[in-house]
Amino acid sequence: MGVVTAVQGKKILKWTVIVVVAFYLLTRPTDAAHTVHGALNGMINAADSMAQFFASLT
């Protein structure tokens, strides 16, 4: 696989993901909102856990 082919493959993959996400958002907005909410809660919980860990080091 050459450099040009790899770059083209990345572009195709990127646009495929964008189209699938857009389709999911447009066809199932409630489920998409729940997914985003769950992901944000997970990131907040991870940040809180890291803060607690670093606070316990002092």
What tens digit of pLDDT does each residue of 23-35 get?
Answer: 998 999 999 999 9
Q: What is the pLDDT of residue 37?
A: 96
Closest by alpha carbon to 36, among 44, 47, 15?
44
Which regions of the chain are under pLDDT 50?
Answer: none
**CA distances from residue 34 to 9, 11, 19, 21 in whole angstroms, order as listed:** 31, 28, 19, 14
Per-domain residue ranges for the chain? Answer: 3-57
| Residue 51: predicted pLDDT | 95
pTM: 0.60
